[in-house]
Each structure stands twice: as C-alpha cells, then as structure tokens.
Amino acid sequence: MELTLNNGIRMPALGFGVFQTPPDETIHAVQTALDLGYRHIDTAAAYGNEREVGEALRRSGIDREDVFLETKVWISDYGYDQTLHAFDKSVGKLGIDTLDLFILHQALPSRFDLTIGAYKALETLLEDGRVRAIGVSNFMPHHLAALFERTGVVPSVNQIEVHPYFAQRDVQDADAAAGILTQAWSPIGGITAYREGGANALHDPTISAVGASYGKSAAQVMLRWHLQQSRSAIPKSVRPERIRENFDVFDFALTDAELAAIDALDTGIRRGPEPDQITLEAFGREIPDA
Ligand SMILES: NC(=O)c1ccc[n+]([C@@H]2O[C@H](COP(=O)([O-])OP(=O)(O)OC[C@H]3O[C@@H](n4cnc5c(N)ncnc54)[C@H](OP(=O)(O)O)[C@@H]3O)[C@@H](O)[C@H]2O)c1
C-alpha cells in the first residue's frame, strides 16, 4: 500500500522505525524487516544507527531505489549551513547519494530562526535533487503557520505522535488542510508501554476485542486504524516475530464503527516531549561527523 506525497513522490504507507534500536541490533532488525517485505525505513541522525541502517540495506541485496529511506536532522544541526552539513553526515553514514525523505526532527521554538534556516537547507537539497521529498516532525499547527510565512515549499510529511490514546486531531487537520501527510510515530502506542504511568494501548480492551474478532493482535488493529485513515505508520521492533506481525496487516479491514470506537479512545494526553519545550539547552547534543 502506497501513499502519494504532495510533490508526487510515492511512499510505502507502512514503514519500519528504529528509535531506541541499539546499533548492534539494527542491522539484524532492518534486514529482517526488508526480508519480510518492508520497503520503508525511518531513522534519524539522533538515533545513532544510520550507519547500520545503510549496512542492512546493502546486505539485503535489494536495489536502493526499491527502498524508501527517511532520516531526520537533529536540532543541534539547525541553521542553513549546519543542516546542509548534517545532510552530508547522514548520507555519508547511510552510504547513499540521494535520500527519499529528509525531515526536521523537531521545531525549535526558542530559535525559530535556526528552524527556518534548517528548512531552507532542505529546500535547497530538494531543488538540487539530493532529496526526493522534505518534511517536518512534531510540528504543531502554529509551527506550521510560522514555517509557511517564511518558506516556499509545503512539507510533504509531518511525523507526529499518533496512537489511539493521543490522536492529535488538530495537528492532523492542519496537516490535511495544507496537503501534508501525517505520519504516526509510536503508531502502536509504544510510548504508552515504555514510558511509565498511564494505560498501555497494546493492552487496551476495546482494541484487543476488535482484534480477537479477526484473529489479529492489538498492534495489528492499531496499524489498520492508521492505514485506513490514510496515515503512514512506522512501528519499531527488534523481535522478528513482532516485525512480521506488524507487517501482516493487509488481509483484514476494520469497519467504520470499529474505527470510530478506536477514535473514541483518545485521551488528549501527550506522552512524548512537549513540542514547545524543545530547547538547545535541554535537548541539544552533538551529532558526530562520521
Ligand atoms: N519523530 C519523533 O520524534 C519520533 C519519536 C518516537 C518515535 N519515532 C519513530 O517512530 C518509530 C515507532 O515509534 P516507537 O518506537 O516509539 O513506538 P511503537 O512502534 O509504537 O512501539 C514500539 C514498542 O512496542 C514494542 N512492540 C513492537 N511491536 C510489538 C507488537 N507487535 N506487540 C507488542 N509490542 C510490540 C517494541 O518492543 P520490541 O522492540 O522489544 O519488540 C517497542 O517497545 C520509532 O522507531 C521511530 O522511527 C519518531
């Protein structure tokens, strides 16, 4: 299943995430995903495993152009020149020439000038054909509005926290109004499991009951919910059986009533960092050159 971005580029809707996947487990995880049919990998400079993602791609033997590679520039590398350099760092580690999707990992509200400079670098890379699409992550509607005022290319993607317990409808609506594809991070509520406190979406009784009627797991139901609502989703796992399970979602469909029942689970409670509180002081860290 593919989605078409606002510049005509096609992207597999279901990708594979590698946040918190240790470098020494990344090659195996990504190779497993590619063997099982995933053709879209989401990494980030800040994850420290771009090199291993690239190595897995090479070892898979799959043609470069058949895999959609997405990575993110970290806030410490914002600013026009710094972000151009960050691109060189990322493609150098990945061992590729052209990136499919390059996105800003966060807005940096306290230094929005640097955020704009970084995005302008993405626009240059797009114009030069070094990236096929550009985008953002964790942008709220007011960040998008501020970006639109000072830049020319509408982002193709906004990657944000979306799972049944935190759907961010306001951001999804702002994305849709601008022609931006919403991509869900923590799509199966991983953050509700690995962050202490609050309920775990993977154990939600409504979601589990829907899954039981199809012989599917809660994770599979959540992934269908995203796909049927035209979002991209990038579940992460290091376990082969779960990597397989998370890709085995194309042989059933949720009804409108089931989609609505999952929509109704939204608590409005964010589990990830508050986007307006991202600062260089609190979150900045050096991304090595190689
Ligand atoms: N832009 C951003 O700021 C941002 C933030 C967070 C994440 N992301 C991206 O989004 C991707 C996914 O988000 P995420 O890793 O936070 O959460 P997720 O994919 O929703 O969930 C991953 C967690 O759930 C477990 N898991 C995976 N499949 C499972 C299954 N079928 N049944 C039960 N548990 C399962 C994983 O553990 P095991 O590995 O042990 O299976 C891991 O702890 C990341 O890898 C990253 O690429 C982006």
> To test ligand 1's pocket by mutation, which of 36, 191, 236, 248 has the most ligand atoms within 8 angstroms of CB?
236
Instruction: Domain count for the chain, please give it.
Output: 1
The answer to whether residue 254 is domain-embedded is no
Question: What is the whole-number distance in angstroms between the Cα of residue 41 and the centre of ligand 1?
Answer: 13
Residue 197 has pLDDT above 80, yes or no: no
Can you give the pLDDT at residue 252? 98
The answer to whether residue 262 is domain-embedded is no
Going 212 to 230 to 8 to 142, the CA torsion angle's sign is negative
The answer to whether residue 252 is domain-embedded is no
Its domain, for residue 52, covers: 2-188+226-237
Can you give the pLDDT at residue 194? 83
For residue range 138-174, what is the model confidence (pLDDT) as tens digits?
999 999 999 999 999 999 999 999 999 999 999 999 9
The one-letter amino acid at 158: N
Distance CA 203, CA 97 (A): 42
The answer to whether residue 266 is domain-embedded is no
The answer to whether residue 200 is domain-embedded is no
pLDDT interval class at 242 (50, 70, 90): very high
For residue range 25-73, what is the model confidence (pLDDT) as tens digits?
999 999 999 999 999 999 999 999 999 999 999 999 999 999 999 999 9
Distance CA 263, CA 110 (A): 33
The answer to whether residue 263 is domain-embedded is no
In the chain, the N- to C-terminal Cα span, in Å, equals 35
Can you give the pLDDT at residue 140? 98
Residue 102: φ, ψ to 5°: -120, 125
pLDDT interval class at 195 (50, 70, 90): confident
For residue range 248-268, what is the model confidence (pLDDT) as tens digits?
999 999 999 999 999 999 999
Percent of the chain with pLDDT over 70: 100
Which CATH number is 72's domain given? 3.20.20.100
The predicted model gives 228-232 an average pLDDT of 98
Can you give the pLDDT at residue 81? 98
Q: How many alpha carbons fall within 13 Å on the CB side of residue 256? A: 0
Residue-averaged pLDDT of the chain:
97
For residue range 202-219, what is the model confidence (pLDDT) as tens digits?
999 999 999 999 999 999
Question: What is the whole-number distance in angstroms between the Cα of residue 188 and the centre of ligand 1?
Answer: 7
Residue 43 CA: nearest ligand 1 atom is 47
Can you give the pLDDT at residue 191? 94
Can you give the pLDDT at residue 275? 98
> Of residues 119 and 197, which shows the higher confidence score?
119
Task: Name the residue with the closest Cα to ligand 1, atom 26.
Answer: 237
The answer to whether residue 52 is domain-embedded is yes
> To test ligand 1's pocket by mutation, which of 14, 16, 19 has the most ligand atoms within 8 angstroms of CB?
19
The one-letter amino acid at 140: M
The answer to whether residue 232 is domain-embedded is yes
Residue 193 has pLDDT above 90, yes or no: no
The predicted model gives 112-134 an average pLDDT of 98
Residue 183 has pLDDT above 80, yes or no: yes
